[in-house]
Amino acid sequence: MAMWVFGYGSLLWNPGFEVAETVIATLPGYARSFCMRSIHHRGTEAEPGLVLALDEQPQAACTGMALRVAPGTETQTLAYLRERELISSAYIERNLAIRLTDGRVVDAVVYVIDESHGQYCGGLPLEEQAQIIAKAVGGRGPNTEYLHNTADHLREVGLRDADLEWLQQRVKDLCS
C-alpha cells in the first residue's frame, strides 16, 4: 500500500525524501497559517520565528500537495519526517484522509499543530506575523526564505493563498 504525505509548507519545496508522485490535494477541517513559533529551524528560543502549521477549523479546508513516497523507502521516510517535524513536539502526527484532484481519496501522514503546546500562537494579526518573519533567523536560515519559498511554490503549482501573498509582499516591503 502506498504511503502518502500531505505537504502544505516547506514539504512543498523541500520534502527531503524520494517522491514517486505529486498530486494537488485538499485536507478538510484544517487551515494553513503561521500559528507555530519556530525556535529551531526559522528562529531561536530567544527570538522565535514563525512557521506554517495546520490549525484545526471544522469549516476550513487546506489545499496543498500529496506526496507519494517512493516504494521501498517508507520506513526511512517516516523516520526522517519524525526527526524533522517532531523536533519540539509542537506538531502531532496524524493519518488523515485527503482528496486528490483526480478524485482519489487516500490516507496521508499529516503534521498538525498541538494547540496546547507552548509554541502555538494561532490568531496573530498578519502585520505582527510580517514583523516577526522579516527579522527571524534560525538553524535552517532566515524566516523570510521559508515564507518566500512556500508562497512562490504554491503559485508555481497554481494554488493561491491570499494571506501568504499579503505576507510575502509586506515582508518584502519591510526588508527593502
Q: Measured between alpha carbons, how far is 139 from 107 in angstroms, rounded to an integer?
A: 31
For 8, which DSSP code?
Answer: S
Q: Is 16 left (phi over 0), alpha (psi -120 to 50) or beta?
A: left
Active site residue 115: no
Active-site residue, from 83, 85, 145, 165: 85
Q: Look-up: residue for cell 529551524?
A: 41
What single-letter amino acid sits at 38?
Answer: S
Residue 77 burial by CB count (10 A; 0-12/13-18/19+): exposed, middle or buried? buried
Pair 73, 3: CB distance under 8 Å: no
Phi and psi at residue 13, in whole multiples of 5°?
Answer: -115, -10
Distance CA 87, CA 24 (A): 27
What are the helix (H) ranges across 30-161?
Answer: 74-85, 126-135, 143-156
> So which residues are the catalytic ones?
85
